[in-house]
Chain A
Amino acid sequence: MQYSIDNEKIIKMYEKMYLIRKYEERIYYLFLEGVMPGTIHQSHGQEACAVGMLYDLGKDDYMTSTHRPAGHCLAKGVPLESMMAEMFAKANGCCRGKGGAMHTGDMSVGAVPAIAIVGGGIPIAVGIGLSLKMRKTRNVVVCFFGDGASNEGAFHEGLNAAAIWNLPVIFACENNFYGASTHIKKVIKIENIADRAAAYGMPGEVVDGNDVLKVNEAAARAIERARRGEGPTLLELKTYRIGGHSRNDACGYRDKEEEKEWFAKDPIKRHREYILSNNILDENSLKKLEKEVEDRIERAVELAKASPDPKPEDALRHVYYEGGE
């Protein structure tokens, strides 16, 4: 398959990445202000992974996410407004205030409510892949997880089953080099997690996770393979989180040289430079696009703040399925 990409898509991918970046930054400050309950695990720095992997999927394709779901959800098409409202625990949030920061999602766009048990989404993605195959669709599921998750038992069971049954699952391991404060060197003996694919008989590929075009190209290959019924792929996207693991994390465990090196590879900066140097858009047009994104986020914040809280007794509903209402 020849990978090709047009200018419109290059711009749209930038816009999505920028949306995720500004969303996460805005959430960070809202959180510091103390107007937002709960905790946060943010994805800025990893935008190219989310956007590159998900850009070409349709609503009928699925995605499973993690405790760090904002980028994935926004890239999959969960409406910004319902994401923001959920962060404020409002009744009109994407999970009606019952999910929160670690469980955002919206099945109507194929975003499975995010799963905050490390590795927990992997077997579920296998089940979705099984369902897609049994129903004879051509759809696929992208399963996100971290480097840390690849040490869970669920990873082994899930990848093995997806491989023997040729399921349309793309395992997207975002290797940001840390599970919480633990550097992967301490917990993974091999250099590349992608090498583990060989143990299951599926292709594995190391990808520059901070280059949205590289990610998208690898994703296109894996998606195409899955749609053809040839089975799963493990993509290891090497990336880095800009923020801490969760709130109030100054990253005292990270080497400052390492940080400097990775911050220089900021995926948004890189994609922006690509757009400018290839004369896809000029500086003014980019600024205009960015301003529009920022305005959208501000409107979402205002809307969320003005939205109603759920009623306390709504907590008693939806323990069992009530027909989707």
Chain B
Amino acid sequence: MAKMTIAEALRQAIREEMRRDERVFCIGEDIDIEGGFGGAFTVTLGLAKEFGYDRIINTPISEIMIAGAAVGAAMTGMIPIADVQYGDFLFCMMDQLANQAAKMTYMSGGKVKVPMVMRAPVGATTRGAQHAQSLEGFFTHIPGLKVICPATAYDAKGLLKTAIRDENPVIVFEHKLLYGSKGTRAEKSALSPIGEVPDEEYLIPFGEAVVRREGSDVTIVANLLMMYRALEAAEILEKEGISVEVIDPRTLVPFDYDTVIKSIAKTSRLMIVEEDTKRNGWGAEVAAHIAEEAIYYLDAPIKRVAAYDVPIPFAPVMENFVIPSVDRIVEEVRNLMKS
């Protein structure tokens, strides 16, 4: 076992997969320039030293091209790991992701494959509205894409390796406050969890949620940073005699409903916490699915706690207000226990 940050775990996954398979390569802006950052959050720092600039490809600032080049390379025998500096810029690439990558296999009648990985940092970090969004929900809406969101070092490595070996386009959402990026790329108020990562090789299959904390009164499903806030809230609530179970879905497409349903069969209450804005988010989908398939387990209405439906504001006081805080989660659980 080695202890490491998520950024290090992701880097290790990339390194191992690039050693294992020479088709794997990285492409993105500033991903490893001599004297540079190693990508916006240091994930690809130093990889060019081992793999050279032919496999660690620094690009012009051309998001459409990056995503399109990944699609074209993936269709013709390569396995690109594309990188976008901030998840928000995925919108610049939307045609290539939503119309090309996601549909190529289907439109060809299943004959073409697009084994590409698109990595994207998400989360609000007082950078203002265009460097803040949590976009997981958007991409869960597009058939043909897989969507994953690892929140620990162990998951980051195991899930990214699975993503690289998947024969379909996978979008990897990583949280800026969870990376543990160092030096000039360190984030103020980052959580930067350090996790244990086995020395031996392992892969984590998609569609397997993890119960992060067991409890009996209410189930909270939360991903990325919100998972950690839910755990904090659970600590506080425990002192009030409320026992919270916290589930980290880890992958949103595919989604592990079994684990959620098993949990609510025990707790009878369901809350979903997401950093994305509330309207039509992935939380809405989970709520609807549980209402359709398992509502009889519930003793109270399903509760979603999410960012308010506004662009993410810059002022820290406003940002903190918009994004679900530990306090807000605690308060909403208390309310849910009363209903």
Tell me which of B60, B72, B77 contacts A124 (CB under 8 A).
B72
Answer yes or no: B167 CB below 8 A from chain A CBs: yes
Report the Cα distance A4→B105, complex, angstroms: 40
Known: A124-B71, A318-B109, A324-B113. A131 touches B76 (CB 8 A): yes
Answer yes or no: B106 CB below 8 A from chain A CBs: yes
Q: How large is the interface on B (under 10, 10 to 19, 20 to 34, 35 or more residues)?
A: 35 or more
B205 to chain A, nearest CB (A): 14
Say yes or no: A123 contacts B108, CB within 8 Å. Answer: no
Which chain A residues (252-309) contact chain B, with CB distance < 8 Å? Answer: none
Annotate B104-117 by CB proximity to A: 1 below 8 A, 0 otherwise.
Answer: 11111111111100
Known: A95-B108, A98-B106. A134 touches B78 (CB 8 A): yes
Q: Give the contact stretch, choosing among B36-44, B61-69, B151-159, B180-188.
A: B61-69
Tell me which of B67, B71, B72, B144 contacts A320 (CB under 8 A).
B144
A131 to chain B, nearest CB (A): 4
Tell me which of B74, B109, B143, B167 contacts A98 (CB under 8 A).
B109
Answer yes or no: B216 CB below 8 A from chain A CBs: no
Known: A160-B60, A161-B65, A320-B144. A112 touches B75 (CB 8 A): yes
Tell me which of B73, B96, B114 contacts A130 (CB under 8 A).
B73
Annotate A134-166 by CB proximity to B: 1 below 8 A, 0 otherwise.
Answer: 110000000000000000011001101100100
Report the Cα distance A164→B109, complex, angstroms: 35
Known: A123-B96, A160-B62. A113 touches B112 (CB 8 A): yes
Report the Cα distance A322→B110, complex, angstroms: 7
Answer yes or no: A45 CB below 8 A from chain B CBs: no
Which of A97, A98, A134, A153 is most buried by chain B, counting CB atoms within 10 A of its CB?
Answer: A134
Number of A-B residue pairs, CB cutoff 8 Å, is: 147
Report the Cα distance A319→B96, complex, angstroms: 16
Report the Cα distance A161→B69, complex, angstroms: 9
Say yes or no: A154 contacts B68, CB within 8 Å. Answer: yes
Tell me which of A103, A127, A324 contacts B72 (CB under 8 A).
A127
Which of B65, B67, B95, B99 is most buried by chain A, counting CB atoms within 10 A of its CB?
Answer: B65
Say yes or no: A131 contacts B78, CB within 8 Å. Answer: yes
Report the Cα distance A251→B107, complex, angstroms: 30
Q: Which residue of A lies closest to B106 (CB)?
A: A318
Say yes or no: A318 contacts B110, CB within 8 Å. Answer: yes
Known: A120-B100, A134-B78. A127 touches B69 (CB 8 A): yes
Which chain A residues (96-123) contact chain B, with CB distance < 8 Å? Answer: 96-99, 103, 105-107, 112-113, 115, 117, 120, 122-123
Which of B76, B78, B114 is most buried by chain A, counting CB atoms within 10 A of its CB?
Answer: B76
Known: A107-B112, A127-B72. A120 touches B99 (CB 8 A): yes
Report the Cα distance A161→B28, complex, angstroms: 12
Q: Which residue of A lies closest to B168 (CB)?
A: A320
Say yes or no: B144 contacts A319, CB within 8 Å. Answer: yes
Answer yes or no: A311 CB below 8 A from chain B CBs: no
Interface of B toward A, CB cutoff 8 Å: 25, 54-55, 57, 59-60, 62-65, 67-78, 80, 95-96, 99-100, 104-115, 143-144, 146, 167-168
